[in-house]
Each structure stands twice: as C-alpha cells, then as structure tokens.
Amino acid sequence: MDRADLVVVGAGTIGGWASVFAAAAGVGRVIVLDQGLVGMGASSRAAGIVRAQGGTPTTVALGRWSIDFYRGQAAAYGTDSGFREQGYLILAVTEEDERLGHARVAMQHGAGLTDVRWLDAAEAAEVAGTLAPDGHRGGSYRDGDGFIDPPRNVRAYSLAMQAAGIELRERTAFTGLRTSPDGARVTGVETSAGVIETDRVLLTGGPALRAVGELAGLRIPAGAARHTVAVLEPHEAFAVERMPMVFDLTAGLYWRLEEGGLLFGWSDPDEAPGVAREIDWAAYDRYRERLAGFVPITRGLGLRKIWAATIDYTSDHLPILGPALRPDGSRIEGVTVALAAGHGMMWGPGVARVAADLAVHGETSLVDVTDLGLDRFDEHGRSRVAPDSVALPYPVSAD
Ligand SMILES: Cc1cc2nc3c(=O)[nH]c(=O)nc-3n(C[C@H](O)[C@H](O)[C@H](O)COP(=O)(O)OP(=O)(O)OC[C@H]3O[C@@H](n4cnc5c(N)ncnc54)[C@H](O)[C@@H]3O)c2cc1C
C-alpha cells in the first residue's frame, strides 16, 4: 500500500504552498491530490488583488506575511508570482463609510500597519490617476499593497513543489478518510486511485471545501458563489507603470491595471450562493455604469475578456484554520482544515503557512488561530466571531 507522511487534498494555492512549507519543515513524503489539474480551481481565475489593509488584526497579519513572502519569492524559490506594488485605495462613499474607514485605519495602525493613511477626495483622485474627484469621500490608502498574476502564482508553486520533491497526483480525487477503530485518529485517505496510508492530512478545496468535508464526515460551512472579472480594452490613460487599485467597498466593485487596460471585478450580494455557470450580463451593465461614475474614461471602452468563476467564502469573511471537527464536536486527530475564504491571493501564503504549521506541529506563531477554527460556527454555519469589514459583499449565509 502507498504511504505518505502528509497527504494534502487540493492543488490550489493553499494546498500547493502548504505542501512546500511542510516539506521545508522536514516532512518526508508529501503527496498532493487534485481531482482535476493543478490550479484549475479558483486559484488560476482570481483577479490577484493583494492587500495588507485587512479589517481585523489577524487579517492584517496574514496580508503582511503574504506580501513579504511574495517579495522574497524570487530569492527563496528562483521564481515568483508576479507581485507588483501599485498602492490600494479603499473608497468611502457615504458618511458612515468614512467613519468606519477612519476606525479601520486606527485599528490597522494599532496592528502595526502604520503606513496606511487617509486621503480626502481630491487627494484620492490625484493619487489614483483616473479616479473622478467626486462621487466619493476619499478613502484609506497604502502604497505597499498590489497584485499578483494568478496563473503565474500557480506556475510558481508548481515549480516549488517539484523542486521540493512533492508528489502531485492530478485527476485523483479524495473520496474519504480512514480512521482508527475508535474514529479518533486518521490512518489513511481513500482516493479514486486507491488508499494512501498516512497519519497526517490537510484538507483544502476552496469553493469545493464543503464537499471535501462531507467526504470526510465533516460539516464545513464554506460557501461558494459566483464572482465575475472583466478586462477592458487598452487605453493610453492605462499605459502607465503604476496606477493604484481601488475598492468601492460598499458595492463590492474593484479595479486595477491589466495589460494596458482596466480589470474590474464584483460579487453580487443579492444573488443566491452556488457554482458559477455563466456571465450575468445585467449585473455587468450595472457594475460598468457604477465603474464609469468613478472612472469616466472607461465609458465606451470595449470589453476585452470576461469570466465568471466560483469563489470561496465564509459567513464572517475570515479563513478557516484548525483541526477537523465532526458535527458532534469530536476531533479527528491528524486532520487539519484550511480555507482562505475568498482571499487566497492576499492571504494565501500566510494561510498556507499556518495550515502547514498546524498539520506538522499542531501550532503556529504566525497568527492567533483561536477564533479561526470550525468550532466558531453553529449548526447553521453562523459564526460567533465579528466579521472582517473589508470584504466583498458575499451572501450572508454560507448555506
Ligand atoms: C473570479 C475570482 C476572483 C478572485 N479574486 C481574488 C483576488 O483578487 N484576491 C484574492 O485574495 N482572492 C481572490 N479570489 C479568491 C481566491 O482565488 C481563492 O480564495 C483561492 O484561490 C482559493 O485557493 P484554494 O487552494 O483554497 O482553492 P482552489 O484554488 O479552488 O483549489 C482547490 C482544489 O481542490 C481540488 N478538489 C476539490 N475537491 C477535491 C477532491 N474531492 N479531491 C481532490 N481534489 C479536490 C480542486 O480541483 C481544486 O484544484 C478570487 C476568486 C475568484 C473565483
């Protein structure tokens, strides 16, 4: 029978980087399973936005760690995820947004992110280049936020996995766990290609994590929803090296440079959760109109490409990082669960590092994971923890 020191389910950015960190921590044989191909879940379809401007001290820490990681990647792995520092402006549209925004900046300063500053509307328009000076009240801004190139990130962790001697098994589905007779401890995983003996398993799956959990006998309140990204044709206003990204937080609309054009993305909070199957053109028209209000130069620009994909989320917008707990609260020793909750580009490396720490050592010093485990959710998937305030407006429930 096959044997591994760690089996990772899912070869997205979380499973991929976690396997690399586990191997670096000295785990011998690491096998990564994917029912499809590496990166072909959410990880290759993301918009790539990366920010340390989180809504809680924990997500600030995950963002900072991840940015440092992206910066040091070339030196550590001889390859990179294409991180470009562009600056990030989180807009306030209403008076209430402004009040909450100032409170958020104070929290971030307290969490050590001292280079976030508040820009008034005129300063914001000046810094963000193509942004109109009206229709908003300025916002919080940080120079060091930026974006990565998601397909390049898939390439980067694939190469790092290969260099670390990790076995990637594509088109191999995880189908269940094997446990000791009393059910207390994992002894192996069942796959579409046979059983692998192991006493350590890391379950990832992004938008499919709930289904992965069901296969393992767990109830994981991870949601999945449509998220759409579009790229507009090139324009001379976007033929610049640097143009800060902007997030219209209330509406869940964001934009950034992309190949001489403008990339923008949105999530529609009024839409029922589920797997993305097609483009919602009525929503496209609505969000384009809103975008044109902020960036008038986009009015009339042609659409170059657009895609709808399924994004992962939780009801409190925070990651899931902790041991596997059955619905009755009993723990399966040796099994760890990890989800970036729709922030796998900005927090991905940090989440993956915490996941590897928990899988290998049972603890981590990167962030306090006390409130990130499955035990924060009730049987309806509601969290007892206050939500992260800087997030796309996903459906309120993860069911
Ligand atoms: C359109 C879009 C835009 C986004 N933009 C951003 C952004 O700008 N910034 C940001 O931070 N985040 C963004 N995200 C979110 C980010 O992409 C995800 O949080 C992240 O990619 C999740 O990584 P993952 O490894 O957990 O999941 P995935 O990349 O989905 O990987 C999970 C893998 O598990 C595999 N799997 C599932 N079930 C099984 C099974 N039974 N057996 C074996 N394998 C299985 C799947 O095949 C898949 O490859 C975006 C997401 C989308 C969809």
Tokens at 192, concatenated: 């579409």
Pocket of ligand 1 contains residue 32 by CB under 6 Å:
no
Query: How many angstroms separate the alpha carbon of residue 198 from the centre of ligand 1?
Result: 25
Element (H, E) at 264: strand 261-266
Question: What's this model's pTM, rounded to 2 decimal places?
Answer: 0.98
What the block records as the tokens of 195 is 């059983």
Ligand 1: atom nearest CA of 215 is: 41
**Residue of minimum CA distance from atom 15 in ligand 1:** 342
The rounded distance, in Å, linking the Cα atoms of 389 and 290 is 21
* Average pLDDT for runs of 10 along the chain of length 399: 96 98 98 98 98 98 98 97 98 96 98 98 96 97 98 98 98 98 97 98 98 98 96 97 95 96 93 92 97 97 98 96 96 98 98 98 98 94 92 71
Picking from 382, 377, 357, the residue whose alpha carbon sits closest to that of residue 367 is 357
204 pocket-lining for ligand 1 (C-beta < 6 Å): yes
Q: For residue 311, how far is its CA from the centre of ligand 1 (angstroms)?
A: 7
Q: Would strands 6-9 and 201-203 be described as parallel, antiparallel, or unpaired?
A: parallel
Degrees, nearest 5: CA angle 215-170-147: 95
DSSP class of residue 257?
Answer: E
Instruction: Quote the tokens at residue 271.
Output: 């839409």
Please list the alpha-helical segments (H only) found in the chain: 13-24, 57-77, 95-110, 121-127, 150-163, 209-215, 281-294, 348-361
Q: Could you please report the per-residue DSSP string of 80-127?
A: ----EE--EEEE--SHHHHHHHHHHHHHHHHTT-TT-EEE-HHHHHHH
Task: Evaluate whether 134 touches 36 at the Cβ level (below 8 Å).
Answer: no
CB-CB contact of 195 with 178 (8 Å): yes
CA of 41 to the centre of ligand 1 (A): 5
Closest C-alpha to ligand 1, atom 32 = 205
The closest residue, in CA terms, to atom 21 on ligand 1 is 43
Sign of the Cα torsion 297, 301, 303, 305 reads: negative
Q: How far apart are CA 85 and CA 363, in angstroms?
A: 31
pLDDT of residue 167: 98
Q: Can you tell me which atom of ligand 1 is nearest the CA of 41?
A: 30
Atom nearest to 338 CA in ligand 1: 26
CB 235 within 8 A of CB 129: no
Q: Tell me, what's the pLDDT at 305? A: 97
The answer to whether the CB of 338 is under 6 A from ligand 1 is: no
What's the residue count for the chain? 399
Contact 352, 366 (CB under 8 A): no
Q: Two tokens at 15? A: 């499973």
Cα-to-centroid distance, 154 and ligand 1 (Å): 11
d(CA 182, CA 249): 48
- Three-state helix/strand/coil letters over 122-173: HHHHHHCCCCCCCCCCCEEEECCCEECCHHHHHHHHHHHHHHCCCEEECCCC
Alpha carbon distances (Å) from 124 to 60, 104, 117, 201: 22, 17, 11, 46
Any atom of ligand 1 within 6 Å of the Cβ of 174: yes
Angle at 319 between CA 313 and CA 325, to 5 degrees: 100
Ligand 1 centroid from CA 13, angstroms = 7
> Is 332 near ligand 1, meaning CB less than 6 Å away?
no
